[in-house]
Amino acid sequence: MTSRLRGRWAEGRPAYNFFLTIPNAWTAEIMARTGFDAITLDMQHGLIDFATALQQLQAIGTTGAVPLARLQWNEPSHIMKMLDAGAAGLICPMIETAEDTLAFVRACRYPPEGIRSYGPIRAGRLAKGDYFQTANREVLAFAMIETASAADNLEAIAAVPGLSGLFVGPYDLSVSMGVEQVADIHGPALRSVLDRVLAACKTNGLIPGIYSGNTGHLAELSAMGFRLISTGDDTKLLEQSARALLQELRESGQ
């Protein structure tokens, strides 16, 4: 279920992740076939509802990409439903405290580690072997670090048992911290949090993840130690490609 990602991490290499915002199974399949290690359904800021998410998970399932989802919110019924539908891992937004993190993790895990209700209607049919026996160790649970409060409670969040990783949202984090240069990984305030994220992940055996819209930063983020590196989304890619094509046509046609 998540072996492609775990294999890269075991080798000390980053896994590359792409976000989907367009509610369409065909675009999901196209992007999943490009070679990204993981494809994330953005249920928070994207235009995707659950019915479409199921179709997109089915489309991604025809490829080798690992299907992830960024949740709408830290809400147990949504967490469990996305996992039952076949998401191999979840990224939870707006985590601010260890208590928030514990609630998220417990909704991702079956008893005795958590409170997840057993009924993996699709996920169980995708699994090799007994899904109940493997899900607690296979399903990835990433807590987003994207507010000043989360940064204040970073070490306590990272210490919550059952968490898989921390995922930095540098845009919201910069805004929340009052940083002038948004998502500038070289700015001292943001860089300090990134260093603490990496240290906390190392201490607790977690995977450090991050989003960056600046592809020029990706090699540096990898060298720093981030292992789930996300960049781009389908909406931006489509828009940028269309604008570039139009510019080329205008230039060639005078």
Look up tokens 């196209």; give the residue: 30
**Quick check: helix, strand or coil at residue 15?**
strand
Cα–Cα distances in angstroms (integers) from residue 50 to residues 2, 44, 96, in the given order: 22, 12, 25
Return the DSSP state at 187: S
Active site residue 45: yes
Q: Compute the C-alpha angle 139/145/150, nearest 5°.
A: 120
Query: Would you give the distance in Å from CA 245 to the centre of its chain?
Result: 30
Name the catalytic one among 45, 78, 186, 217: 45
Q: Which of 66, 44, 53, 59 is nearest to 23 (CA)?
A: 53
Query: Would you give the distance in Å from CA 193 to the centre of its chain?
Result: 18
**How far is the C-alpha of 165 from the C-alpha of 143, rounded, in Å?**
7
- Which spans in the chain are helix H? 3-10, 25-32, 50-60, 76-84, 98-108, 123-126, 131-138, 148-152, 154-158, 170-177, 188-204, 218-224, 234-253
Active site residues: 45
